[in-house]
Structure 1
Amino acid sequence: MSSDYTLASEEHSSIGWPLQAFVLGDFTSAGACELHLDRENSEFGLLYRLEPSAAVMAQFADNDGPVFFHAAWALAACHRSNGTCKKVTILLPNCQVDLEFMHHEYAQTFLATLKSLATNAFTVYEVTVNVAFQRKDFDMVKMGYRAHANPAWGVVSDPMTTSINRLWKTGEWSDFMVIAGNRTFNVHKSVLCPRSQYFANACKGGFKESVTGHIKLEEDGATIETLLAEMYNVVNSVTGSIYTNFALKPDIEKEFVMHTLLKLFIACDKYHLECIKARAAEAFIDRLQLVHDPLAIVDLASTIFNDCPESDLGLRTSIIGYVEARMPAIRKDEGARAEFLQCELVMPAHLDRFSEMVEKGALQITTQSSSLLLTTPPVSPTKPRRTIAMNLRSRGA
């Protein structure tokens, strides 16, 4: 199996499965591609690789919308676990997705991941040998592989989570204020204090914040707004869907989001919000391969090595690996090259990684995987007659 892809068992790395083909309704992938997991939002998106680590989002031809699906949309799946089958079909509410993986183990690990993220009604069917499963016209519904439950267009929310969401959006019953920059946020001690010892201490008797009813934080308003939204379990533009909120954005907007994620990570470390800190790290790592601007990559590396805490949940390893993969582009960009040479902490880390790769013979990976790379963003050869538009969202606690 190729070393360019990370399976779900590896810690602090993005998760993706190389595909030979992806078919959704009338959409067919153009060449080798990757099914990428947005861990924060339980969504699977189709990416094309331009370089060993850089990728672009696959898009529908009729409206340029991103090609992706949410785990909660999956009603059932078909697979043949005979040790050689590389195909998985997934039944969604109004269509079927056909996936042909590069290796049968990828099919199995993907299916296990999907099953862990899907609803309880999700069913996996074992396709018997007498069924022509490998045929391109295999149809789950016609063959009797149906959902056990009625198709659900919405994700059932936890009533408690919904109530907390409402408190954040309305500010109703607020009993405390958080001030950051020129922003003031009406919050609730019952939400903040159980989640953060920092806020719990601030609200206790004996501290001035417990008397004044507010606390002023050093971070900027955008960072604290994202932090509080995460504490209230509210979907936001920073950690929201990679495929609808990030992948197709201009480079400058992507860089802003990535730096906000790093600020969020640092703030969570300061305020003892370990769960949100872990989600921020995952969100950053999952988006990294979609950042193409060489100067932005160097800026992000500099921020991580200079500002992030030692317990970085894989951020340094991920960014230095990406710097290594994108080094040809960094060398060609005058501004990026100049800034890279001035990064006192990034340069030694880059050289250490390069030496380690030479010792392990890992530099051969790029050559071995060259058949998976595309020089330009591909266009689907068949224009879909319709676009699957299912705007569901679910968030874990």
Structure 2
Amino acid sequence: MATPASSSRRTHERPDEGRPIYLDYAATTPVDPRVAEEVMHFMLEEFGNAGSRTHSYGQAAKERVNRARAEVAAVVDAKPDEVIFTSGATESNNLAILGLAPHGEKSGKKHIVSTQIEHKAVLEPLAELERRGFEVDLVPPTRGGWVDADEVVARVRDDTLLVSVMAVNNETGVIQPTDEVAGALTAGGAYFHVDAAQAFGKLVGPLRNSRIDLVSMSGHKIGAPKGIGALIARRRRFSRPPLAPLMVGGGQERGLRPGTLPVPLVAGLGLASALAVEFGEERQTLLRDVRREFSSRLHGIGAQSNADESRAMPGILNVYVPGIDSEAAIVALKGVAAISNGSACTSQSYDSSHVLTAAGATTAEIEGALRFSFDETLSAKAMDAIVKRLRVMKTAPA
């Protein structure tokens, strides 16, 4: 399971520092050292403002931004000028959803179809639109954690403004049927938005479907720094999605996001995207082997999956071990592994998972849920250390 030198990344096993194994990649990935070097170059040397057109510093910055736009676009087979840089997927989701609202109000299309298992960065903007008088129709998932594409499409009406379905669920890793939904939507009908925070650079084919109008992504899920992401807004023939800006005060990003571009972060996102194109397939192949081995070890101590593993991305495992509470497990594993029991955006509140609840999970499954998310460098030694600690918990007297 060694990582090829060509695609090597910073390892999460650093025994020389005495730190736990990092297994929370769904929350954030470590910055790729090559990306960090690129970011520092544009912080310390090529530090110009991409909006400064009168000197070489600004021109160098602008050229790197343009190249990054092309690098991000290439991941989903879009055009460079369809890439809008944002602070991350949360902002992109807000711009896609709330940005369409004025067009919906003007056109009389105030119906939206989405799912019950979306990230809060989608569900909360949708709730805001409900407060403004929009009708939001949320499709429940199957027991395996995926929504049925036919049910999503069946809810689309003549007055539907938007369909929003995530590509990969952030808690369970289950791939959602965005390709099927896209294929069933009419050419000139509702806009289709996909939150691709967990899929961008990993799940290639479905995101390249040209019927997906809007794609949200975050750099820190693919080895880029936090604070940078993008919304890809594809044209329909010659028309861009009719988005209205959420902020005003400048003409940057085609008037949709005012403010000076963070060129170092944009450069980092561009390089991380290029690396995803170059090495993504190789990494996913390695990850499938890692997942198979880790899953086998966990099931060996009685762990059960909280999702349909045949439909899940290889880098996320959501399981529960009967008799073990997730909070107790996280504490017990604290010195061994850094893991979570759900979304990083909500896990601090210790609320029950809305994803597992919607999928019909039992109380025991929800309270025992452990999310292991990792990259291709996870070793058998690390797996054994985790399984050993969980086995001790399971056999310890109550």
Q: TM-score, normalising length from structure 1? A: 0.25
Between Structure 1 and Structure 2, the one with more strand by share is: 1
Q: TM-score, normalising length from structure 2? A: 0.25
